[in-house]
A = this chain, B = another copy of it.
């Protein structure tokens, strides 16, 4: 079982920000990344559809030798984690618990949740945070435009600064001291968010805390690989070539197109 792969599931490309941290923390592991490029983005869809897509994708993934599943997508972690944990016997780790634990290491008092419409509507971050500290003051903003802005390469554009400002108008004067980047794309627009919130606001993202929680989980379960160097492979539901190109750029290492498999959504 130790030789089986870690699966990292995401709705599309965004989960590569989590994958990068998992690769860094666990260089000996084989990792299989799944991106549902045929049905991305999930952040504006209904809970029912998010859960359906998550289950379909992971049922397919489970035909492979997988020892552990990381749900990199916050929207899926918000809605489908329990269903996934119930249906599959391997450990399933979402990004929300590790991120919330990270929040409490930093001890903020007034925190902003930035996420997709669906994640905000789920209320999962405020719920989890208030369970641990009912006095925390929480503000929530759905920022759906951040994803296409990043994907169009406009993260560092003046237009993005203006959109950030527009989104943050509703928390003006609220003296936020930390913000959760509650969508896998948002670390890629980190500078614009930091500028919009001010340099004093601490930005908390999910990649490194999730990778750390994964290490602890594998260690606890006796599932760590002993091989010299792990191998990286990918499954996507559409746009194999485009994904390969973008993932190579993002990870800063050439990915062989042969390591990117395309599966037809019809078989899911």
Cα separation A155 to B160 with both chains bound (whole Å):
14
Which residues of B sit under 8 angstroms from A37, Cβ to Cβ?
A: 45
> Which among B38, B151, B166 is the interface contact of A154 at CB below 8 angstroms?
B166
How many monomers of this chain does the complex have?
2
Contact code string A118-157 (vs B, CB < 8 Å = 1, else 0): 0000000000000000000000000011011101101001
CA distance A149 to B154 in the complex (A): 13
Contact with B along A233-264 (1 / 0, CB 8 A): 00000110000000000000000000000000
The one of B46, B52, B162, B266 that contacts A239, using a Cβ cutoff of 8 Å: B46
Q: Which residues of B sit under 8 angstroms from A265, Cβ to Cβ?
A: 49, 52
Q: Which residues of B contact A52 (CB under 8 A)?
A: 265-266
The answer to whether the Cβ of A159 comes within 8 Å of any Cβ in the partner chain is yes
Tell me whether B152 and A162 are in contact (CB under 8 A): no
Please give, as numbers and ranges, the residues of chain B lying within 8 Å of A157 by CB-CB distance: 162-163, 166
Shortest A40–chain B CB gap in Å is 8
Complex Cα spacing A144 to B150, Å: 12
Cα distance A49–B266 in the bound complex, in angstroms: 10
Closest to A12 in B: B44
Interface members, chain A 159-203 (any B CB < 8 Å): 159-160, 162-163, 166
Q: Which residues of B lie under 8 Å from residue A158 when comparing CB positions?
A: 162
A231 within 8 A of B: no
In the bound assembly, the distance between CA atoms of A145 and B45 in angstroms comes to 19
In the complex, whether A64 has a CB less than 8 A from a CB of chain B is no
CB closest residue in chain B, given A148: B148
Instruction: Determine the distance from Cα of A145 to Cα of B163 in the docked complex, in whole angstroms.
Output: 13
- Taken residue by residue from 12 to 49, chain A's Cβ proximity to chain B (1 for < 8 Å, 0 otherwise) reads as 00000000000000000000000001110000111011
Query: Which of B49, B151, B160, B238 interacts with A238 by CB under 8 Å?
Result: B49
Expressed in whole angstroms, the minimum distance between the Cβ of A181 and any Cβ of chain B is: 19
Contact A49 B38 (CB under 8 A): yes
Closest to A45 in B: B238
Nearest B residue to A239 via CB reads B46
A44 to B35, CA, bound (A): 15
Q: Tell me, in angstroms, the Cα distance from A160 to B151 when the chains sit together.
A: 16
Q: Give A86 Cβ to nearest chain B Cβ, in Å.
A: 19
Binding site for B on A (CB under 8 A): 37-39, 44-46, 48-49, 52, 144-145, 147-149, 151-152, 154, 157-160, 162-163, 166, 238-239, 265-266
